Amino acid sequence: MLRLIRLSSSLPKVNIPKANKMPARPTIAEGDIKEKFIKGGSGKGGQKINKTNSKVQLTHIATGIVVTSQATRSREQNRKIAREILALKLQDLEDPANSRQRIVIERQKMVKARKNKRTKAKYETLEKNKQEKEDLLEGIDEIVFIDENSEPIQIDTKQSKQKLLKQL
Amino acid sequence: MPRPGAVAKYQRFLLKKLLPACNTLQQARRELFWIQKELPSEQWKQACIQRGRHLMPLQYILGNQPFGSVNIKCRPGVLIPRNDTEEWCSELVDVFRGSDTFSVLDMCTGSGCIALYLATELSNVTVLGGDISQDCISLANENIDVNKDIIKGKIKVDSMDLFQPLAGDKKFDVVVSNPPYIPTHELEKQEEVEKSVRLYEPRLALEGDLPVFKAMVTYYIIPSQCKVFILEIGSREQGQYTRSLLDESWVVGLRLDSAFRPRNVIGFRTDIESSIKRKLMTTIIELFKKQR
Average pLDDT over residues A109-123: 94
The answer to whether residues B167 and B254 belong to one domain is yes
Q: Which domain does B25 fall in, by range?
A: 4-54
User: Quick one: B50 and B21 in the same domain?
Assistant: yes
Q: How much is the pLDDT for B174?
A: 96
Res B241: pLDDT: 96
Q: Determine the angle formed by the axes of helices B25-38 and B44-52, rounding to 10 degrees.
A: 140
Minimal-distance CA residue of chain A relative to B186? A48
In a domain, B198, yes or no: yes
**Counted domains in chain B:** 2
Q: What pLDDT is attached to residue A82? A: 95
Q: What is the pLDDT of residues B144-191, one digit of tens each?
A: 999 999 999 999 999 999 999 988 889 999 999 999 999 999 998 888
Residues of chain A with Cβ-Cβ distance to B197 below 8 Å are: 47-50
Write out pLDDT tens, residues B8-43.
Answer: 999 999 999 999 999 899 999 999 999 999 999 999
Residue B221 DSSP one-character state: I
Q: What band does A167 get if pLDDT is binned at 50, 70 and 90? A: confident
- Residues B217 and B74 reside in one and the same domain: yes
CB atoms B79 and A47 under 8 Å: yes
For chain A, the residues whose C-beta falls within 8 A of a C-beta of chain B are 36-37, 39-40, 43-54, 70-77
Q: Count the neighbouring beta carbons within 10 Å of the beta carbon of residue B9.
A: 11
Alpha carbon dihedral B57, B63, B66, B70, in 10-degree steps, equals 150
Asked if the structure places residue B74 within a domain, the reply is: yes
Rounded to the nearest angstrom, the gap between the alpha carbon of residue B98 and the centroid of all alpha carbons in its chain is: 24
Over residues B219-262, the pLDDT tens digits come to: 999 999 999 999 999 999 999 999 999 999 999 999 999 889 99
Encode chain A in three state secondary structure.
Answer: CCCCCCCHHHCCCCCCCCHHHCCCCCCCCHHHEEEEEECCCCCCCHHHCCCCCCEEEEEECCCCCEEEECCCCCHHHHHHHHHHHHHHHHHHHHCCCCCHHHHHHHHHHHHHHHHHHHHHHHHHHHHHHHHHHHHHCCCCCCCEECCCCCCCEECCHHHHHHHHHHHC
Give every CB contact of residue A39 below 8 A, 6+ residues apart in sequence.
A45, A51, B83, B258, B259
Q: Tell if the CB–CB gap between B178 and A47 is shorter than 8 Å.
A: yes
How close does chain A come to B168, measured CA to CA in Å? Answer: 31
Q: Are residues B165 and B255 in the same domain?
A: yes
List CB contacts of B188: < 8 A, sequence separation 6 or more: B198
Q: Indicate whether B13 and B115 sit together in one domain.
A: no
Q: Which residues contact A56 (CB under 8 A, 6 or more apart)?
A: A35, A36, A37, A38, A68, A69, A70, A75, A78, A79, A81, A82
Contact B213, B241 (CB under 8 A): yes
**Which residue intervals of chain B are DSSP H helices?**
4-18, 25-38, 44-52, 58-62, 83-96, 113-121, 134-146, 184-187, 195-200, 210-215, 236-244, 274-283
Nearest CA-CA distance, residue A120 and chain B, Å: 22
Q: What is the mean pLDDT of chain A?
A: 85
**Residue pLDDT, tens place only, B36-68:** 999 999 999 999 999 999 999 999 999 999 999
pLDDT band at A156 (very low <50, low <70, confident <90, very high): confident
Contact A76 B87 (CB under 8 A): no
Among A71-85, A144-158, B242-256, name the one with the lowest average pLDDT.
A144-158
Nearest chain B residue to A46 by CA distance is B84
- Contact call for B59 and A50, based on CB within 8 A: yes
Chain B contact residues (CB < 8 Å to A)? 23, 27, 30-31, 34, 57-59, 65-66, 68-69, 79-80, 82-87, 178, 180-182, 186, 192-194, 196-197, 201, 205-206, 232-234, 257-259, 261, 263
Mean pLDDT throughout B122-135? 95
B62 inside domain: no
Residue B71 in domain: yes
Complex-level ipTM? 0.91
Are B169 and B219 part of one and the same domain? yes
- pLDDT-derived band at A5 (thresholds 50, 70, 90) equals low
Smallest CA-to-CA distance from B172 within B222, B212, B247 is with B222
Query: Do B47 and B76 reside in the same domain of the chain?
Result: no
Residues B88 and B167 both lie in one domain: yes
CATH of residue B130: 3.40.50.150
Q: Is the domain of B227 the same as that of B254?
A: yes
Q: Is residue B144 part of a domain?
A: yes
- CB within 8 Å of B28: residues ≥ 6 apart: B15, B18, B19, B21, B22
Query: How sure is the predictor about B292, in pLDDT bands with cuts at 50, 70 and 90?
Result: low
Residue-wise pLDDT tens digits, A9-65: 577 888 888 888 888 889 999 999 999 988 866 678 899 999 998 899 999 999 999
B61 within a domain of the structure (yes/no): no
Query: Do B251 and B108 lie in a common domain?
Result: yes
In the predicted model, is pLDDT for residue B136 greater than 80? yes
Do residues B46 and B113 share a domain? Answer: no
Confidence of residue A132 (pLDDT cuts 50, 70, 90): confident
Domains in chain A (CATH in brackets) are: 14-114 (3.30.160.20), 137-168 (no CATH)
Q: Does B37 share its domain with B111?
A: no
Close Cβ partners of A165 (under 8 Å, ≥ 6 residues apart): A130, A133, A134, A137
Flag whether B41 is in a domain.
Answer: yes
**pLDDT one-digit tens code per residue, B187-196:** 988 889 999 9
As beta bridge partners, residue B106 has B129, B176
